[in-house]
Each structure stands twice: as C-alpha cells, then as structure tokens.
Amino acid sequence: MIFSSEDIKREVIRSNLQTVFSALQEKGYNAVHQIAGYLISNDPAYISSHKGARSIIQQIDRDEIIEELVKSYMEDRHE
C-alpha cells in the first residue's frame, strides 16, 4: 500500500493529538476543553507539560489541527 504525504501528515496530527489528549486526561483535566481553549486562544498554558504534551501540540500549526478535526468529523458523519 502506498501512502501519500497528506495521509502521513494526517496520521501524525491524529497521533500527536491523541498523545496530548491522553496526557491531559492523566493529569485529570477535561482534555476537550483544554485543547479547545488552546486552539481558540493559541495560549500554550491550556496544555499541560506532562509527558511533553505542550511541546508536542506546539509542533503542529493550529490551522492544521482544526482542519484535521473538521475533516475527521465530516468523514465520520458521512459514513
């Protein structure tokens, strides 16, 4: 199977977002609220540094994260 660079990019974003989500949950945070706060404000203080989560999420452009979330949501809605 051949993967396009777009497929690889999407998988990296998904994987990193899952890592951040899990780290936030481990610390007892509401991961959805924390990630949404970060995406809206661009304030990295919304993301804990636990397990490098803040560093991980800052490696990805916020617009790319939002784009991936919308694509994923729409794909799930049309299956």
Q: Using pLDDT thresholds of 50, 70 and 90, give the confidence band for residue 78.
A: confident
* pLDDT greater than 80 at residue 3: no
The pLDDT, as a whole number, for residue 79 is 65
**DSSP at 51:** G
Is the distance from CB of 57 to CB of 36 less than 8 angstroms? no
Q: Using pLDDT thresholds of 50, 70 and 90, give the confidence band for residue 44.
A: very high
Q: How far is CA 26 from the centre of its chain?
A: 16
Q: Using pLDDT thresholds of 50, 70 and 90, give the confidence band for residue 4.
A: confident
- The percentage of residues in the chain with a pLDDT greater than 70, rounded to a whole number, is 97
Number of H helices and number of E strands within the chain? 4, 0
Is the distance from CB of 23 to CB of 51 less than 8 angstroms? yes
**Domain limits, the chain:** 5-77
